[in-house]
């Protein structure tokens, strides 16, 4: 699951703020029962909610197996476990194998933070068919996401305007507008979701997963975390090392970095992916339609973005393709090598004055559906990051660091540098500089790094292994492109991951797949 870079734009004045269940946190009454003893009522899944991204109810798996959904009650505030509860949305596909071969439930988190597991698992369910031979496949909307007490900030029309704004200010007036609009966005989140904002930290989600483990009936948590899901898995392993079963981390977040270092790392990662795209396009036997050399490809993209900064072009309907939307669209296309052909098409169109494809890619990154409704991935992403990350940066901080960000990426540097002010006026203090994932005594965790990953650079895998501690993290390297490794369908990676999850075979540390 993509971990969206916060190539964010400024918010408009919040005038018609949403009144939703998020105002009260979608919570229940206080309780006295033991939540670990609750029984889940699995039923046919409904169509995804607006906050989950909308669409149709999940289709049956090959062979006719139906997806089932349930809700899990969890404390809103884990410091007050007998207080108000919230409902967490779960989804599962029961194992396809014989019951006597079943290991347990394999819980997935696909990243973000802010991604809906209830919608993502069915979308990629066939990719995990082999794992389903011995596990029930399970995922969930983490707290603050989708159907699980979602954080809400701006309305759909306001979000359209929000994503049109300039996130790479060129002068004092644009910088002031960016800071004011960010402050107004954050105020909207507080107005609409005040009761949930202090309780969406990754530590809260990790405690939810341990409750989930118990209610699902497993002595250990069997886990597959992707992108931000690796951070969540690392925090779980730190809090509950003795409860870690077989676990895989793919597309690994560097747990040693603060938010500034993480943004700089993403700038380097997306620039590397852009370099690889340009080299790939121009190295083929046929002519590359968007440049004669790799540098020419990048120069033409830079010129397009500069032109869009001065004058946007038609996008979809009445919406114009701005510099920010085009940058978002380019970033989205770099998450997977499978998307590179769409980037070529989108650039060709944009050079001819048509921004539709780049706008579609940008909408995908931002969680906008064709009917103009947004999932809550942006609101949840910001809320979780700001609750987790202690640093708060000023415009002066950003301006001091701009040269370093621009050196890391001429294209993405400004956007990712200015994303550092996202939490400056946030209502809830951040928890720490970076997560603690030390997990002495935990079972082996397979940590898979991709050398061409734009969103979670390869170096994060080694840092995660070191931070988990001796005898816990086992590193596997995939020499490939795109975000993550298992989803690339590389047979070497899938054999190693499946061998561990299905049969407990830990690959040799330092294994390399290409």
Tokens representing residue 482 in the block: 């795109």
What sign for the dihedral angle of Cα 300, 302, 304, 307?
A: negative
- pLDDT at position 284 is 82
The span from the CA of 264 to the CA of 512, in Å, is: 26
The span from the CA of 6 to the CA of 423, in Å, is: 12
Which CA distances in Å does 433 have to 182, 262, 388, 429? 22, 11, 8, 11
Go through the chain and tell me how many residues it has: 514
| Catalytic option among 218, 388, 389, 453 | 453
Question: Does residue 181 contact residue 418 with C-beta atoms inside 8 Å?
Answer: no
| Catalytic option among 238, 243, 434, 483 | 483
The span from the CA of 130 to the CA of 78, in Å, is: 36
- pLDDT at position 181 is 86
- pLDDT at position 63 is 87
Q: State the residue for tokens 């993290």.
A: 473
Residue 46 falls in which region: left (phi positive, over 0), alpha (psi -120 to 50) or beta: beta
- pLDDT at position 420 is 95
Can you tell me whether residue 371 is helix, strand or coil? coil
- pLDDT at position 458 is 96
β-bridge mates for residue 27, sequence order: 86
Nearest to 379 by CA among 207, 155, 181, 205: 155
- pLDDT at position 219 is 98
Tokens representing residue 66 in the block: 């139906």
H helices then E strands: how many in the chain? Answer: 15, 12
| Catalytic option among 139, 168, 193, 227 | 227
238 in active site: no
Question: Does residue 358 contact residue 329 with C-beta atoms inside 8 Å?
Answer: yes
- pLDDT at position 381 is 97
The span from the CA of 315 to the CA of 359, in Å, is: 6
- Say what the alpha-carbon torsion angle 60, 65, 69, 74 is, to the nearest 10 degrees: -130
The span from the CA of 83 to the CA of 74, in Å, is: 10
199 in active site: no
Question: Does residue 486 contact residue 493 with C-beta atoms inside 8 Å?
Answer: yes
- pLDDT at position 142 is 98
The DSSP bridge pattern shows strands 313-316 and 319-321 to be: antiparallel
- pLDDT at position 32 is 59
438 in active site: no
- 438 exposure class (CB count in 10 Å sphere: 0-12, 13-18, 19+): middle
- Note down pLDDT in tens along the chain; length 514 residues: 333 344 332 222 222 222 233 333 334 445 657 999 999 999 999 999 999 999 999 999 988 999 999 999 999 999 999 999 999 999 999 999 999 999 999 999 999 999 999 999 999 999 999 999 999 999 999 999 999 999 999 999 999 988 888 999 999 999 998 998 899 999 999 999 999 999 999 999 999 999 999 999 999 999 999 999 999 999 999 999 999 999 999 999 999 999 999 999 999 999 999 999 999 999 986 789 999 999 999 999 999 999 999 999 999 999 999 999 999 999 999 999 999 999 999 999 999 999 999 999 999 999 999 999 999 999 999 999 999 999 999 999 999 999 999 999 999 999 999 999 999 999 999 999 999 999 999 999 999 999 999 999 999 999 999 999 999 999 999 999 999 999 999 999 999 999 999 999 999 999 999 9
Q: Model pTM?
A: 0.92
């Amino acid at each position: 699951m993509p971990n969206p870079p916060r190539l964010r734009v400024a918010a408009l004045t919040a005038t018609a703020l949403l009144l939703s269940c998020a105002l009260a946190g979608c919570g229940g009454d206080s309780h006295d029962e033991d939540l670990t003893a609750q029984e889940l009522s699995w039923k046919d899944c409904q169509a995804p909610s607006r906050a989950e991204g909308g669409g149709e109810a999940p289709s049956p798996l090959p062979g006719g197996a139906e997806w089932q959904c349930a809700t899990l009650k969890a404390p809103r505030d884990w410091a007050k476990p007998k207080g108000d509860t919230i409902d967490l949305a779960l989804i599962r596909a029961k194992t396809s194998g014989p019951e006597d071969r079943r290991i347990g439930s394999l819980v997935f988190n696909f990243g973000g933070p802010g991604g809906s597991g209830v919608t993502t698992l069915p979308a990629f369910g066939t990719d995990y068919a082999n794992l389903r031979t011995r596990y029930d496949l399970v995922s969930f909307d983490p707290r603050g996401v989708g159907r699980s007490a979602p954080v809400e900030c701006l309305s759909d029309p306001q979000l359209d305007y929000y994503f049109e704004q300039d996130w790479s200010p060129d002068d004092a007036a644009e910088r002031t507008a960016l800071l004011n609009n960010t402050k107004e966005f954050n105020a909207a989140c507080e107005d609409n979701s005040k009761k949930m904002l202090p309780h969406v930290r990754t530590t809260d989600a990790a405690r939810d997963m341990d409750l989930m483990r118990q209610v699902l009936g497993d002595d250990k948590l069997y886990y597959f975390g992707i992108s931000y899901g690796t951070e969540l898995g690392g925090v779980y392993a730190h809090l509950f090392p003795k409860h870690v079963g077989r676990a895989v981390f793919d597309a690994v977040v560097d747990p040693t970095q603060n938010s500034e270092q993480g943004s700089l790392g993403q700038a380097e990662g997306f620039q590397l992916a852009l370099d690889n795209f340009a080299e790939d396009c121009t190295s083929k036997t046929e002519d590359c339609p968007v440049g004669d050399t790799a540098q020419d490809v990048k120069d033409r993209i830079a010129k397009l973005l500069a032109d869009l900064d001065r004058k946007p072009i038609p996008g979809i309907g009445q919406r114009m393709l701005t510099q920010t939307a085009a940058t978002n669209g380019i970033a989205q296309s770099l998450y997977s090598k499978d998307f590179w052909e769409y980037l070529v098409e989108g650039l060709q169109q944009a050079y001819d004055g048509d921004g539709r494809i780049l706008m579609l890619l940008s909408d995908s990154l931002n969680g906008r559906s064709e009917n103009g409704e947004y999932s809550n991935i942006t609101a949840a992403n910001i809320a979780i990051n700001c609750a987790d990350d202690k640093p708060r940066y000023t415009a002066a901080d950003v301006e001091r660091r701009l040269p370093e960000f621009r050196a890391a990426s001429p294209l993405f540097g400004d956007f990712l540098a200015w994303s550092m002010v996202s939490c400056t006026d946030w209502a809830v203090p951040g928890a720490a500089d970076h997560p603690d994932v030390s997990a002495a005594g935990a079972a082996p965790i397979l940590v898979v790094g991709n050398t061409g990953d734009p969103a979670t650079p390869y170096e994060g895998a080694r840092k995660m292994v070191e931070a988990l501690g001796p005898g816990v993290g086992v590193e596997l390297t995939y020499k490939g492109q795109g975000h993550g490794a298992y989803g690339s369908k590389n047979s070497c990676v899938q054999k190693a991951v499946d061998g561990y999850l299905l049969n407990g075979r830990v690959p040799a540390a330092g294994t390399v797949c290409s």
